[in-house]
Amino acid sequence: MVERTSETTGATEPGAAGQSELQNSASAAPGLRRNPERHRGRLKIFMGYAAGVGKTYSMLEEGHVLKAQGVDVVIGYFEPHGRKDTIAKSEGLEIVPRKEVDYRGSVFEEMDTAAIVARHPQVCLVDEFPHTNIPGCNREKRWQDVQVLLEEGVDVLTTMNIQHLESLNDQVWHISGVRVRETIPDWVVQQADEVVMTDVTPRALLHRLQRGVVYGKEKADQAMQNFFREQTLVALRELALRQAAYEVEHRLGDAGAASPAQQPLSGRLHKILVLITEDPETAMLIRRARRVSDFLSAECFAVAVQPAGDLSGLSQKEREAFEKHLNFARNLHIETRIIEGDDVARALVDFAHRNEITQIFLAQPLESKWVLPLISRNLVKRVVELAKDVQIVIVSRRMR
């Protein structure tokens, strides 16, 4: 069997054949541990569950506290949204002017990362961590700009809502009916030194909305019909509180002493393996596997099985789907392989046994289409039958 490592470019390169595949992966799949480098800036995230809970306000307030202590603080990017309280709070803090970016004849404003690096403050305030930059910027995402600031040794305070966390994307859709496009990989949040919950009750938030504090009247009414329904807000708030609790526990492990988060599951290290296919449900499967791995402190790997050991035998459409899913997994710091085999179940289980995998994650077989279900249902069945000492987790769809 020939197994090949694909690099982050997404291209499949011929690799060293037949090596024990996963032995060196611990260092290659970081994601969990905080960057130990001394001069890296520290990151603090103000986490909320909706617009208007007060994340930006809290961040600015902390900026003032720091400034009063003699710390060199600047605002790198701040989105006023026309909110009076927030705008007033920004006064007295130095603002690094935004950069103008031309895109298709219009001018957009983005954070000027280079100017902030040149100014080199001790602490930089950056609003809206999950923001996607206009095409033509150096980096696609604001969180990538923040990485640059951190590497330059600048401490960053930033804001985000729980619904932008990648591994919760399906659940957020299930709760709110909104498919959030601007997501942040979980490892980026895990690398933060601190995640603080900005909390307000949904009732208080709805009052703010009604009073026109958050949006203008018309937009507020519209928002309350859609995203800002009470049950949606309550559920998102619960998600945020639980995530914040997890982030705290996760960092307890980092601080040194043995904490539950660092002890391996069941007294042994768990390794999770995800099967990548062209099936669109694969994205959901990867998110869930990533989340479970993180919570169990398990390593996570993903494989695709192809007769040729690469994607060459596929139609362009199929190949694109595979590549998209492999890239998606890698962006979440999951190491990927394409393994050779005609029999997917057999190849998957053999790989699992050879690499001491303890859990295999598969997507639930689809019911409605009429060719696929037989194949995929058989796949699940055969993997369950073939796998010895391996738990099989079948992830079913989070539906609306």
Alpha helices of the chain — where are they, by DSSP H? Answer: 25-28, 55-68, 84-90, 113-119, 142-151, 169-176, 186-190, 202-210, 217-225, 230-254, 282-295, 316-331, 344-354, 372-386
Task: Characterize 359-370 residue by residue with b for buried, 16 or more Cβ atoms within 10 angstroms of its Cβ, and e for exposed.
Answer: bbbbbebbeeee
Q: What is the CA radius of gyration of the chain?
A: 23
Considering the complex, state which of residue 101 and residue 213 has its C-beta at the smaller distance from another protein. 213
Smallest distance from the beta carbon of 189 to another protein, in angstroms?
Answer: 15
346: Cβ contacts below 8 Å, ≥ 6 apart:
382, 386
Considering the complex, state which of residue 5 and residue 262 has its C-beta at the smaller distance from another protein. 262
In the 8-state DSSP scheme, what is residue 222? H
As given in the structure block, the two tokens for residue 7 are 């690099």
Interatomic CA distance for residues 145 and 132, integer angstroms: 10
Smallest distance from the beta carbon of 192 to another protein, in angstroms?
Answer: 11
Considering the complex, state which of residue 202 and residue 341 has its C-beta at the smaller distance from another protein. 202
Considering the complex, state which of residue 168 and residue 311 has its C-beta at the smaller distance from another protein. 168
Considering the complex, state which of residue 157 and residue 338 has its C-beta at the smaller distance from another protein. 157
Smallest distance from the beta carbon of 311 to another protein, in angstroms?
Answer: 28
- The answer to whether the CB of 343 falls within 8 A of the CB of 351 is no
Smallest distance from the beta carbon of 11 to another protein, in angstroms?
Answer: 32
Smallest distance from the beta carbon of 198 to another protein, in angstroms?
Answer: 7
Smallest distance from the beta carbon of 156 to another protein, in angstroms?
Answer: 10
Considering the complex, state which of residue 155 and residue 186 has its C-beta at the smaller distance from another protein. 155
